[in-house]
Amino acid sequence: MIAEFKLIERIAALQGADDGVRIGIGDDAAVLAITPGHELAVTTDTLVAGVHFPLDAAPADIGYKAVAVNVSDLAAMGATPRFATLALTLPSIDMGFVEPLLRGIAEAMKRDSLTLVGGDTTRGPFSITITAMGEVAQGTALTRSGAHAGDSVYVSGTLGDAAAALAMRGHWPALDEAGKLAKSRLEQRLAKPHPRVALGHALRGVASACIDISDGLAQDLAHVARLSEAAIVVDVSLLPLSRALQTVVADREQQWPFAFGGDDYELAFCAPPQSAAVIERLATELKLPLTCIGTVGPGQGVHLLDHDGRVRDVPRGYEHFRT
């Protein structure tokens, strides 16, 4: 065990050089400068052991994900990640745990250019809270409230991989070589999400509304519908599913509900039909699938339809997806 100040020294070593950090770790508060003409987007997420990650999760993955979930919220606002603070509560300072935790945090911060500028260290049951700050040119932040009837609804990437990995934990069937590769792809998607920062940035001025869908597609689109005072209709046959998910779960009827399972750090966004060509070009530029999954209409709520127009219920909770 090492002393708290030693731990803070280790943490301070993670802090990279950044012109915007006028005063960083070591004083009573950080003093930060942002690019003129920009605004700060600020978000906080807490991860609690046993709630947000399994008790046996690898510490490096916990650290990585604690950062990534925050970065995903900045991405959804169209903000560019800049600074972060780290509040750590630890039962004891066990470096066998803390070193890989910090490594995971540093890896994710470096990946998305976040600079650690301060935090707090306390004793108690393990939890980790990160506050992330991003900058966005004045007045250009994306919000949940701008969708209009007639807009198309898109999602980035593929959906359901993380939910499938979570549902299958301890329930994996015997797998052949292709199945094993698919399993490891799904597990990577759960442990190491890649927040869509470049996409969020590029969607400023293009998307009418945007949200990150970490809480599950239906729940998150419901926020957009409510705040935009509109209805969202999703065609479940259009949901983009990865080859890995389709390898592990053979039946389409059992595949698509995973897309509602949450833990996908993808963006859902709305845009008027005339933006379709711009969005197609963006997908090519970013090498990221952007799939139209539905439309915004008059009314309220989120409604799911089959390709043949049959109404489908919103699947709830990953427990229901056990195969």
Q: Which stretch binds Mg ion (CB under 5 A): 39-47, 63-71, 114-122, 251-259?
A: 114-122
Binder of residue 319, out of ligand ADP, Mg ion, none (CB less than 5 to 8 A by kind):
none
Q: Do the Cβ atoms of 236 and 217 come closer than 8 Å? A: no
Q: Could you say whether residue 120 binds Mg ion (CB under 5 A)?
A: yes
Q: Could you say whether residue 28 binds ligand ADP (CB under 6 A)?
A: yes
Question: What minimum distance in Å lies between the beta carbon of 314 and Mg ion?
Answer: 43
Question: What minimum distance in Å lies between the beta carbon of 128 and ligand ADP?
Answer: 9
Q: Residue with the closest Cβ to ligand ADP?
A: 119
Question: What minimum distance in Å lies between the beta carbon of 131 and ligand ADP?
Answer: 11
Q: Which of 120, 229, 280, 306 binds ligand ADP (CB under 6 A)?
A: 120
Binders of ligand ADP among residues 44 to 103 (CB under 6 A) are 86, 88
Distance CA 160, CA 262 (A): 7
Q: Which of 2, 13, 26, 243 binds ligand ADP (CB under 6 A)?
A: 26
Q: Could you say whether residue 253 binds ligand ADP (CB under 6 A)?
A: no
Q: Could you say whether residue 25 binds ligand ADP (CB under 6 A)?
A: yes
Question: What minimum distance in Å lies between the beta carbon of 26 and ligand ADP?
Answer: 5
Q: Could you say whether residue 121 binds ligand ADP (CB under 6 A)?
A: yes
